[in-house]
Structure 1
């Protein structure tokens, strides 16, 4: 059986490393990219199963604590209040809180990387 999919992938920077990354990802799905590959830098795709976590991440963006050096982390009582006021069950709150912490850590690491460059 042979399956074909057609579409365009566009990069902001057209480099061989980016082509290789996309080709590896496509190969993992049994796909092959051919022709020009180009992704827009400001474009991203969110899997449906991550929609709730990302929505909560956006909702808690007013909860950053900051010091003289910039953001130090999220205000957890504020995050907890936001989760609770959404009417989520306790298990869902706990799961989302862990995902928010992961995004917080990644965000702080990226900001630190940018400061050091």
Structure 2
């Protein structure tokens, strides 16, 4: 499995902000080194991701956890219905020396068997 390594900044005071900058750019778009590690899979294939909000990060021993909310929504034009949801997701990695190491997220394979 492929990994993402990020150098630990020992002077980073706010881990939430540190990891937030690795998920979103300065205008709020999903762009950064940690995006490939995020589980952004949605059950509804018609839903769109509206945003990701980093809500915290913590290091305990050699484990690092980054918590996020994933906001998504869908519109069903034929029924004139819309919905939006918010899921909490946790990204877990490890501390390896002077690096944080995260596994890249691998989407589950879908088959036509799942559709029936």
Same fold (TM over 0.5): no
Task: Give the TM-score normalised by the residue count of structure 1.
Answer: 0.23
Higher helix share: 1
Higher strand share: 2
Larger C-alpha radius of gyration, 1 or 2?
1
Task: Give the TM-score normalised by the residue count of structure 2.
Answer: 0.23
Larger relative contact order (Cα-Cα within 8 Å, sequence gap ≥ 6): 2
